[in-house]
Amino acid sequence: MYGKKMIEREILYYNFIERELVKSEKGRQKEYKHNDGRLIAPRPKQKFGADKIINKIDEFLEHEDEPDYFINKLREQLTKKGLGASQIEDLINKRQKYQNNKNVYSLLLQYAAGFGKSNIIGWSSLMLKDLRKNDAFVYDKIMLVVDRVQLRDQLDSKMYNMNIANSMFIEANSKTSFLESLHTDKRIVVVNLQKFNSIREFLDDEVVQKLASMRIAFLIDEIHRSNSGQQHEEMVSLFDELQNSFDSNATYKKTHNKKNLIIGFTATPSDVTLARFGEYNKYAEAEKIWVPFDSYTMKEAIEDGYILNPIKGVVPVSAKMYFEKPDDAIEGFEDDTGYYQEMPNNPDAGIDANGKKYRISKKNIYENEERIEAISKFVAKRLVSAVYHNIRGTAKAMFAASSIKAAIKYRKYIQQYYNELVSEKKHERFKDAPIYIVYSSDGQKYESATTLNGGLSEAKVLQNFAIKKNGLIIVVDKLQTGFDEPKLHTLF
């Protein structure tokens, strides 16, 4: 049975018409491409996740003045489970190192790709914005934290379709605009992290102290980001960056009388992230002891038929490739070939079956010109013969390269072979399908992606890719995180 609150949420938040949006030719304002749309209503699991977030707020508010409430609750749960005193204290000590829920509350949600995270973020942010207690708003600001141009644009379109016009929210892309957002009557703030090197750049001591008198809900669309924009550096957690900004500020810890809330979404939480921000799994036996606050895994999505199993769609490509052994690229393998020997799991360095040390230079393989040219020829042929015909002739593809240098080479050769193929009569209908490349670069070591894309910005590339009937987009390593394209058929 639905209660009154649930019926109100159903009417006010959960159903909307989604229409395709494009930016007008003359300006940056978005407009509907046409009036055709589709009704977006939440799947039961989506609604459950959004409702679960809102229902948790009551517990947060009730115990806001008790910094050790959740640690004491965990100790009680562990005791009920029958764990020994030393084991309990060990788990408690590990948890306390993270200061989780002590100075700021956090919720971690794991949702599979294709589940509709943007919808849940939209519904949750609207409900959090309107949430009241004792005739006052619970949260002073709702901050949506994004770290990708594509995620930012996607969220913007979602908000537009949910009737959240641009006049209802403000975008913070500098410390000045962030401070301004704290004093406006607009209660939804979109924080564009692409404009900052790190969260600490705008959450400095001055800003954090201003936040001590406010209660803010941060919603992070994909909690992992590449440190300093370098795709080969270790991915850092926005959760860590946000929480550390508050935990490490002595003045904030002494003066804050309200607790901010961080809600993070991801499809792939690491064990460290789960240990720091996850919930205690009271049903765990041999399973993980820390779990997300709510989850809908890829396995569940495949079983329920929402997404296809990508493993079943893998097409192996068999081809002999010959390499001259690069100088100092492989040490310890002294046979004539060496490549037939089984390598240990770690492809960078290790010890072989004979106890000899070795080191493999992946760069010499993945950036090998002949290898790239051969793969490019295969990709171009595959696009016109087996990809673009799918989804009623509207299929698209993505190519993930291992480095910017490799991506630029692939762009050159794929375009070369593709042009040759579409000059043939049988493939000429695909000649207008673009080949774009997207990567982050300061423009010094490598020419910018904008130059290679004919002067188009990343935002314009993503918009054009969405509009075109077919197309290939080349990305680097993890840049495809959060990519939303319903007609993406093939990943190379």
User: Two tokens at 76?
Assistant: 């009680």
**Measured between alpha carbons, how far is 94 from 106 in angstroms, rounded to an integer?**
17
pLDDT of 26 reads 57
* Residue 224: inside a domain: yes
**Measured between alpha carbons, how far is 213 from 296 in angstroms, rounded to an integer?**
35
Tell me which residue of 110, 421, 440, 427 sits closest to 278, measured CA to CA: 110
pLDDT of 472 reads 95
DSSP secondary structure letter of residue 186: -
Query: Are residues 279 and 371 located together in one domain of the fold?
Result: no
* Residue 465: inside a domain: yes
pLDDT of 287 reads 59
**Measured between alpha carbons, how far is 131 from 125 in angstroms, rounded to an integer?**
10
Query: Are residues 428 and 298 located together in one domain of the fold?
Result: no
* Residue 110: inside a domain: yes
Burial class (CB in 10 A: 0-12, 13-18, 19+), 219: buried
Tell me which residue of 468, 469, 396, 410 sits closest to 438, measured CA to CA: 410
pLDDT of 435 reads 95
| Structural domain ending residue among the three candidates 261, 277, 304 | 304
Query: Are residues 68 and 207 located together in one domain of the fold?
Result: yes
pLDDT of 346 reads 47
CATH for 441: 3.40.50.300
The domain of 375 spans: 367-491
- The answer to whether the beta carbons of residues 483 and 38 sit under 8 Å apart is no
- The answer to whether the beta carbons of residues 433 and 472 sit under 8 Å apart is yes
**Measured between alpha carbons, how far is 305 from 295 in angstroms, rounded to an integer?**
17
- How many Cβ atoms sit within 10 Å of the Cβ of residue 224? 21
Query: Are residues 419 and 278 located together in one domain of the fold?
Result: no
- The answer to whether the beta carbons of residues 479 and 440 sit under 8 Å apart is yes
**Rounded to the nearest 10 degrees, how much is the dihedral formed by the CA atoms of 320, 324, 330, 333?**
70
CB environment 260-276: b (16+ within 10 A), e (fewer): bbbbbbbbebeeebbbb
pLDDT of 343 reads 45
Q: Each residue's pLDDT tens digit in the chain (492 positions)?
A: 567 777 777 777 787 777 766 666 555 556 666 667 777 778 888 888 999 999 999 899 999 888 888 888 888 888 888 888 888 888 888 777 765 667 788 899 998 877 778 888 888 988 999 899 888 999 998 988 877 655 566 666 666 777 666 667 777 777 788 888 888 888 888 887 766 666 677 677 777 777 778 888 988 877 765 443 333 233 346 666 777 777 777 777 777 778 888 898 888 888 878 877 888 876 655 557 788 999 998 888 888 877 777 777 777 766 555 555 545 444 444 444 444 444 444 455 555 566 665 555 667 778 888 889 999 999 999 999 999 999 889 999 999 898 899 999 999 999 999 999 999 999 999 999 999 998 877 667 888 889 999 998 887 888 888 889 999 999 986 545 556 677 888 888
* Residue 401: inside a domain: yes
Query: Are residues 374 and 485 located together in one domain of the fold?
Result: yes
Query: Are residues 283 and 407 located together in one domain of the fold?
Result: no
Residue 5's H or E segment, with its range, is helix 4-12
* Residue 170: inside a domain: yes
**Measured between alpha carbons, how far is 189 from 97 in angstroms, rounded to an integer?**
31
Query: Are residues 118 and 247 located together in one domain of the fold?
Result: yes
Helix, strand, coil fractions of the chain, as percent rounded to 5: 45, 20, 35
Strands 132-133, 136-137: pairing kind = antiparallel
Overall number of domains in the chain = 2
* Residue 93: inside a domain: yes
Summarised one tens digit per residue, pLDDT across range 207-247 is 777 777 888 898 887 776 544 333 323 334 666 677 777 77
Query: Are residues 291 and 371 located together in one domain of the fold?
Result: no
* Residue 423: inside a domain: yes
pLDDT of 230 reads 38
Query: Are residues 249 and 381 located together in one domain of the fold?
Result: no
| Structural domain ending residue among the three candidates 263, 286, 304 | 304
**Measured between alpha carbons, how far is 460 from 463 in angstroms, rounded to an integer?**
5
| Structural domain ending residue among the three candidates 304, 321, 354 | 304
Partners of residue 265 on adjacent β-strands: 109, 221
**Rounded to the nearest 10 degrees, how much is the dihedral formed by the CA atoms of 57, 62, 64, 69?**
-100
Query: Are residues 410 and 279 located together in one domain of the fold?
Result: no
Which sign, positive or negative, has the C-alpha torsion 453, 455, 459, 462? negative
Query: Are residues 414 and 294 located together in one domain of the fold?
Result: no
Query: Are residues 289 and 433 located together in one domain of the fold?
Result: no
Which sign, positive or negative, has the C-alpha torsion 126, 128, 129, 133? positive
* Residue 358: inside a domain: no
The upper half-sphere exposure of residue 161, i.e. CA atoms within 13 Å in the direction of its Cβ, equals: 29
- How many Cβ atoms sit within 10 Å of the Cβ of residue 412? 15
